[in-house]
Amino acid sequence: MSSYDVVIIGGGPGGYNAAIRAGQLGLKVACIEGRETLGGTCLNVGCMPSKALLHASELYEAAVSGELASLGIEMQPTLNLPQMMKQKDASVSALTKGIEFLFRKHKVEWIKGWGRLNGQGRVSVSHADGSSSELQAKDIVIATGSEPTPLAGVSLDNRRILDSTGALALAEVPKHLVVIGAGVIGLELGSVWRRLGSEVTVVEYLDRICPGLDTETAKTLQRTLSKQGMAFKLGTKVMGASATAQGVELSLEPAAGGAVEQLQADYVLVAIGRRPYTEGLGLENVGITPDKRGMLDNQQHRSAVPGIWVIGDVTSGPMLAHKAEDEAIACIERIAGHAAEVNYGAIPSVIYTKPEVATVGLTEEQLKADGRAYKVGKFPFTANSRAKINHEAEGFVKVLADERTDQILGVHIIGPSAGELIGEYCVALEFSASAEDIALICHPHPTRSEALRQAAMSVHGWAMQA
Ligand code: FAD
Ligand code: NAD
């Protein structure tokens, strides 16, 4: 039986970052991953392939919509979907091999196979050739991630009725794609296929898109996506969907009750959330019981069982790759006996639509619910010279600061490169900066980042450029 300081189950952003950090700290570490490649959901079927298609489809739309022609670039573009998928797959493959390289560099042993807890300090692994092996470890980290939440009455076949993995690998552009769920996956992948020529209808149970997102920002996003041609059916529930070789027939009903309506699509994407993945993990062998939603509880990454730790999508908190990475670092530092903490109040989140949406900290709704007195500073990208010159002036930066102390409490951006811009405010939140701090910092001209400064000035009513 091989023996380790740490054995990590799962090779996604939680698991692979934990493994690398453990290797850096001189711990003897193995990472068990059942997939053929490392990188988990994020690299294989999540963040990275979706961003590859978002990038390519954005350029395609700029070419076919006349946007490039308006800049004086004329061409007759045609879509080569197999090539678009091929370049996505090639990038994904390069990234997953990159993790293998990092494992070698940091002396992490990759154990290929499916891990199963086999008592405290013991994990058995089933390998693809049918053999199995047994590992021993002082500490075990569960980083087994998540899987798509199924919808009752709608059976996924990944031919006509797809989850996100199916929607990242379609061989043709749907004529009519129905997306169930107006969350991050639905809006990102819905945008990809709409840009490539699909009619896209998004069916959402609630009466708004992106629950949890600052309401003003969510409304602006919905308005912009509607202008781009995405249709929304809010407050609507899907009662069932039946697939044929040609397409799918859906039955819908108002969430509040009412007449049933039929909707035809040639493909359906189910994107109603993800749930923790713990199948076959042997939790019962160590006495860990998931909560109602299948989540594994943790206290500073420790499970209820000494020596077993949990990080990433399989436990509470936002299901984001960078949250899993943060937890990975803190968990391994703690295993190594160091002090470490994750600041859950400063985890950003980004929706990679056009325009992008990026947020960090509290929303106005949360501040109101907490009864906290706050000030709002807002600056529109129409008044930002760089955004204007690039014809991408939709959206705004909104800064929420404590009325008394001026401490920045939340920032919500919808606009060009919002995902890159939010980093500045993540630093601001971590350093407990005030709006005045940002307002007094020199920002380069002409950049979109000037809108960040102007919004901070606006908290005190002296935005100079709007
Ligand atoms: P995972 O990445 O799910 O990795 C878990 C790994 O464990 C998997 O590879 C699995 O095969 C393996 N595993 C499970 N059980 C076992 C076992 N018993 N033995 C061995 N191996 C096992 N997040 C962002 O921050 N930004 C984005 O832009 C973004 N885009 C996304 C787009 C899509 C379409 C999807 C689906 C997700 C996206 N996410 C994004 C979410 C992100 O992918 C996850 O939050 C992240 O991958 C979670 O990391 P993790 O390590 O906890 O789990
Ligand atoms: P989500 O939680 O973002 O959105 C799900 C949506 O489906 C919600 O609006 C919800 O109200 C709706 N819904 C739930 N049940 C429904 C039903 N029966 N009928 C109609 N609508 C229903 O989930 P997602 O879009 O599936 O994404 C899953 C996770 O992946 C997210 O938690 C997100 O953190 C992560 N992700 C992140 C990114 C990113 O960071 N850019 C991209 C993709 C995915």
Question: Domain map of the chain by residue range?
Answer: 2-148+275-342, 161-272, 347-459
What would the pLDDT profile of 412-465 be if each residue is shown by its tens digit? 999 999 999 999 999 999 999 999 999 999 999 999 999 999 999 999 999 999
What would the pLDDT profile of 345-360 be if each residue is shown by its tens digit? 999 999 999 999 999 9
Per residue, what are the HEC states of 255-295? Answer: CCCCCCEEEEECEEEECCCEEECCCCCCHHHHCCCCCCCCC
Region at 300 (left for phi over 0; alpha for psi -120 to 50; beta for the rest): left
Residue written as tokens 């935005």?
463
What would the pLDDT profile of 107-166 be if each residue is shown by its tens digit? 999 999 999 999 989 999 999 999 999 999 999 999 999 999 999 999 999 999 999 999
Encoded tokens for 354: 């056009």
185 touches ligand 1 (CB under 6 Å):
yes
Query: According to the annotation, is 364 in a ligand binding site?
Result: no
Closest CA to 100 of 27, 4, 16, 18: 16
2-148+275-342 homologous superfamily? FAD/NAD(P)-binding domain (3.50.50.60)
What would the pLDDT profile of 256-304 be if each residue is shown by its tens digit? 999 999 999 999 999 999 999 999 999 999 999 999 999 999 999 999 9
Q: Are 313 and 14 in contact (CB under 8 A)?
A: yes
pLDDT at residue 60 above 90? yes
Pocket test for ligand 2, best of 272, 323, 347, 353 (most atoms within 8 A of CB): 272
The reported pLDDT for the residue numbered 246 is 87
Q: Is residue 442 packed enough to be buried (19+ CB in 10 Å), middle (13-18) or exposed (0-12)? A: exposed
Residue type, 156: L
What would the pLDDT profile of 9-23 be if each residue is shown by its tens digit? 999 999 999 999 999
Nearest residue (by CA) to ligand 2, atom 23, is 273
Distance in Å, CA 319 to ligand 2 centroid: 10
Q: Is residue 183 packed enough to be buried (19+ CB in 10 Å), middle (13-18) or exposed (0-12)? A: buried
If you count them, how many residues does the chain have? 466
Please identify, in words, the CATH class of the domain defined by 347-459: alpha beta
Sheet harboring 267-270: ordered strands across?
Answer: 161-162, 267-270, 176-180, 199-203, 231-233
Closest atom, ligand 1, to C-alpha of 328: 51
Distance in Å, CA 328 to ligand 1 centroid: 13
| Vertex 208 angle, CA 233 and 203, to 5° | 25
Residue 209 to residue 237: CA distance in whole angstroms: 14
275 touches ligand 1 (CB under 6 Å):
no
Encoded tokens for 190: 């819905």
CA distances from 173 to 84, 163, 177, 267 (A): 12, 16, 9, 9
Which one from 106, 338, 445, 460 is the annotated catalytic residue?
A: 445
With a CB cutoff of 8 Å and minimum separation 6, the contacts of 226 are 232
Distance in Å, CA 65 to ligand 1 centroid: 34
Pocket test for ligand 2, best of 43, 44, 53, 184 (most atoms within 8 A of CB): 184
What would the pLDDT profile of 73-88 be if each residue is shown by its tens digit? 999 999 999 999 999 9
Distance in Å, CA 282 to ligand 1 centroid: 20
Query: According to the annotation, is 282 in a ligand binding site?
Result: no
Query: According to the annotation, is 182 in a ligand binding site?
Result: yes
pLDDT at residue 393 above 90? yes
Closest atom, ligand 1, to C-alpha of 314: 52
Closest atom, ligand 2, to C-alpha of 181: 7
The answer to whether the predicted template modeling score (pTM) of the entire model surpasses 0.85 is yes
13 touches ligand 1 (CB under 6 Å):
yes
Query: According to the annotation, is 273 in a ligand binding site?
Result: yes
Active site (annotated) includes residue 445: yes
With a CB cutoff of 8 Å and minimum separation 6, the contacts of 235 are 204, 205, 206, 207, 254, 255, 256
355 touches ligand 1 (CB under 6 Å):
no
The CATH number, out of the four listed (2.130.10.30, 3.50.50.60, 3.40.50.800, 3.90.1170.50), of the domain defined by the range 161-272: 3.50.50.60
Encoded tokens for 64: 């076919």
277 touches ligand 1 (CB under 6 Å):
yes
Query: According to the annotation, is 11 in a ligand binding site?
Result: no
Per residue, what are the HEC states of 156-170? Answer: CCCCCEECHHHHCCC
The reported pLDDT for the residue numbered 116 is 98
Report the 10 Å Cβ neighbour count for 404: 10
Residue 267 to residue 196: CA distance in whole angstroms: 14
Query: According to the annotation, is 354 in a ligand binding site?
Result: no
**What pairs with residue 140 in β-bridges?**
7, 308
CA distances from 393 to 4, 353, 380, 396 (A): 54, 15, 8, 9
Please, which pLDDT band fits residue 1 given cuts at 50, 70 and 90?
A: confident
Distance in Å, CA 423 to ligand 1 centroid: 22
Residue 371 to residue 423: CA distance in whole angstroms: 27
DSSP 211-242: TTS-HHHHHHHHHHHHHTT-EEE-SEEEEEEE
What would the pLDDT profile of 214-267 be if each residue is shown by its tens digit? 999 999 999 999 999 999 999 999 999 999 888 999 999 999 999 999 999 999
Residue 386 to residue 389: CA distance in whole angstroms: 5
276 touches ligand 2 (CB under 6 Å):
no
3-state secondary structure of 401: strand
Closest atom, ligand 2, to C-alpha of 183: 4
Sheet harboring 236-243: ordered strands across?
Answer: 236-243, 248-254, 261-265
Distance in Å, CA 187 to ligand 2 centroid: 9
The reported pLDDT for the residue numbered 325 is 98
**Which run of H or of E encompasses 136?**
strand 132-142
